[in-house]
Structure 1
Amino acid sequence: MISRSNNFDFLRLIFASLVVITHSYPLSGAAEADFLSQLTQGQMMFSSIGVHGFFIISGYLIFKSLLRCKGLADFYWKRVLRLFPALLIVLILTVLLAPFVYESSLPYLKNNSIYTYIPKNLTLFFRQRGIDGVFENNPYKSSINGSLWTICYEFSMYVMVSLLFFVRTKPFINIIVVLLFISSYILSVFYPDFLYGVFIKMELVSSSFYNLMCFFTGGMLLTYWKIKSKKTENIIIIFSLIILIASIYLQVFKYTCYFTLPILVILIGNRSTQYINKVGTVIGDTSYGIYIYSFPIQQTLVYFFKFDTVPLMIFSLILSLLLGYLSWHLVEKRALKYKDLVSKKAIPL
């Protein structure tokens, strides 16, 4: 069992909040990108740090979970419980509350798009971005919940990891993980359109897949990196920060980020820093709830109050944290009580 006395819950909370900050700009109709994007000339955005951070932590923890699980059924059951209960609830609430922001001459219950919204989004890969007549007069018209786009990539990473189940006890498993990281790095940096046509049939973008895979496998790779000395760890963190800052200045961040960000996220996450290591214990793991609720919250605030960027940022962060808290305690935490249901039956695949 992985100890929760670490900084990962705090980092996930920060990463989810960073996504909300970036989304506040396009959803409020702002012409400029977020402050970090402006500062780094488009090399970094708050949301990219957030999403990449999520995938790094996910790669690290999910790979550890695979190495411990009793079978593929056990592995997938835990992944389903983590993703789908909260996703289903946010989709149901969206359909139930959409009439309050509905603008169309067609009666709501006669609108076919409301009946396809939940099942299509539950497939993860064939997402329906909107419901006809909902938020169509907002500055950002094209989506009710634009945050959901990453979930299909996340689940794709689960499938990739699960294939390693059959060789997880072999001595060469670490070599396979290294090769996965190297191949995803080469594809992301040099050949982002490789197999573009294949991915597009699944409504995936090849460049996004390779990009997120590289961060995910970077997290996987760091499960093998054991640093015994705190002094050495501090030196590595400082050195990685220097490289990160220098690469932004030299405008080569896209080549170095796949190394520096995983190192920083995992080394900082594995620490147990006083106070912030209690975030998960005090409020729970609210990050997933914040992530999936924040976008429709922001769209709704813009619809009713026409907020500019900063007010939208402030109020949506507060409401997203509240919904994330409720989602964790009322849905996600309760669903995870059943996470050992399959392992107790010891069903291997």
Structure 2
Amino acid sequence: MSSPGAKTYAKPDAGFAWLRMFGAILVVFEHCFPIIEPSRITSLPSSWNISLGYFALMAFFAMSGYQIADSWQRDSSWWRYLLKRVLRIWPPLLFVVMVTAFVIGPLVTVLSPREYWGNPDTWGYVVHNAMLYPLQHLLPGVFTENPYPYSANGSIWTLPMETTGYLIVLVIGLVGGLARGRIVLFPLLLAFMVADGIIGASVGFQGDAGTLFSVPLGSMVAFLVAFVIGMLLHSYRDLIPLRPAVAYALVALYLVANFTPPIEPATRFILPLAAGYGAITWAYHWPRRLDGYDQWVYPSYGMYVWGMPVQQLYTLAGVRNSYLLIVLAVPTAYACGVVSWRLIERPTQKLRIYLRVPDKPMADPDTEITQVIPAVPPAPPPHPRARRPQVARVESRPGPPVPPLAHGREHRNW
């Protein structure tokens, strides 16, 4: 889908990048409350059953579904697809878990150095989290005296779910479900919605399905509903218009349903639609004046994965006020994200140059090319008295300049 109002709005890449940064800020913002007071799930009153961070995560997954489906459509090579996903997710993740285990852990653990380095969980933290399945949240003796001792980095809990979404795109793409067979996305979405309704995960509750490799199945199903909605919006982008008025109406519907007891159960289905359609619509209607500044918001992934270790360190230093923690942790997490982007993510993203779709084969310049020219009988010589035809003199004027071809670039996937 081309960006609506191309002269008015920024490139969708810029819109997606800015929205991901806002989402990362909201997640770090929301985590500042349970980090200080674990019984408090969100920054808003618990009776509202609304979490800004949860809404941001739904938007994250919908944008990922949209952009990853777009990546598959651009290049349907399964091995290049997988390598691109690995280059995006794995290097920043490995960096943060190694620094947490090998730098932060030894400095803050309550164990002796011998006990810490001799504990298999110290090394398992890196191995397990680098593989994503199973996740390991605890490091021996690390942050055990903080108000929230349950995880050294709880932010990475959604990454296995994101990876599962990538595998869904791969399978659906291989069977043609992102091309002519796109209708299969509707029963897929219906299956996840039914499962989500049965398991019943919500804000602050991970559902009744338990965990698989330390990943809560209920929450994963809920977020994958938004992911498939993003896939569907991309596959039917030629039929589904992106209207800001519709996006605002869906958010309003979500709020009304949330505070109306008779229809409150429907919010679990309205939320991923409102967050997903809204995020993708706003990405395509992003203000043009912000185009060109998106390099400042590319560190969103690094900010997301570094947010909780930063918050835990400030809490360990004695911070016990959520709002003070916000003031300290948000800019620090952003600075860590910038370091991650410049030292880890951007260099590894440059490796994608070796994963480009191969061009059509060209002729070998060293091979001689022969062209068969049909024989044409020579024209008879003109009669000496024949009058030469007059050729009208045409003044050569330069034509209008030819605009350069616009080369599209692949979305920067979070």
- TM-score, normalization by structure 2: 0.75
Shift of 1:167: 3.0
Query: Distance in 1 between the 2:254 and 2:94 partners?
Result: 38
Matching residue of 1:58: 64
Cα distance in 2 for residues equivalent to 1:7 and 1:142: 35
Provide closer, same or farther for how the CA distance between residues 301 and 191 of structure 1 changes in structure 2, counting only shifts above 3 A: closer
Work out whether 1:239 is the aligned partner of 2:249: yes
Equivalences, count: 339
Query: 1:98 and 1:58, CA in 2 relative to 1: closer, same or farther beyond 3 A?
Result: same
Q: Return the letter of the residue paired with 1:334.
A: P
Pick one of 217, 234, 248 that aligns with 2:258.
248
Q: Percent identity?
A: 23
Letter in 1 for 2:215: L
Partner AA of 2:174 in structure 1: F
1:266 alignment partner AA? I
Does the 8 A contact of 1:5 with 1:272 survive in 2?
A: no
- Whole-angstrom distance in 1 between the partners of 2:237 and 2:45: 31
The range that moved more, 304-313 or 118-127, is: 304-313
Distance 2:244 2:239 in 1: 10
1:72 equivalent to 2:78? Answer: yes
Deviations 1:63-109 (A, max 9, x none): 11111114100100100000011011111111222222111246333
Structure 2 SS opposite 1:339: helix
Aligned position for 1:25: 33
Which residue of 198, 202, 210 maps to 2:213? 202
The amino acid of 1:242's aligned partner reads A
Alignment-derived partner of residue 148 in structure 2: 140
Alpha-carbon shift at residue 344 of structure 1 (Å): 5.1
Gaps of 5+ in 1: none
- Between the aligned partners of 2:99 and 2:186, the Cα distance in structure 1 is 42
Please say if residues 188 and 207 of structure 1, whose CA atoms lie closer than 8 Å, have aligned partners that are also in contact: yes
Whole-angstrom distance in 2 between the partners of 1:67 and 1:86: 26
Q: Which has the larger radius of gyration?
A: 2
Alignment-derived partner of residue 46 in structure 1? 52
Q: Is the 8 A contact 1:9 1:279 kept in 2?
A: no
Query: Which of residues 346, 349, 363 is equivalent to 1:336?
Result: 349
Do structure 1's residue 98 and structure 2's residue 105 form an aligned pair?
A: yes
Would you say the 8 A contact 2:244–2:282 is kept in 1?
no
Quick one: which of 217, 226, 235 aligns to 2:228? 217
Aligned-residue CA RMSD (Å) = 2.6
1:244 Cα shift? 2.1
Query: Structure 2 vs 1, CA of residues 5 and 112 (structure 1 numbering), >3 Å: closer, same or farther?
Result: closer
How far 1:5 moved relative to its partner?
Answer: 4.9
Unaligned regions of 5+ residues in structure 2, if any? 3-10, 202-207, 360-414
- The Cα shift of 1:342 comes to 3.3
Higher relative contact order (CA 8 A, sep 6+): 1
TM-fit CA distance, 1:242: 2.6
Query: 1:104-144 CA deviation, whole Å, 9 max, x = no partner?
Result: 24633323322221111111011111111111000011110
Whether 1:166 and 2:174 are equivalent positions in the alignment is yes
Please state whether the residue corresponding to 1:125 is helix, strand or coil. Answer: coil
Equivalent AA in structure 1 for residue 107 of structure 2: F
1:262 aligns with 2:276: yes
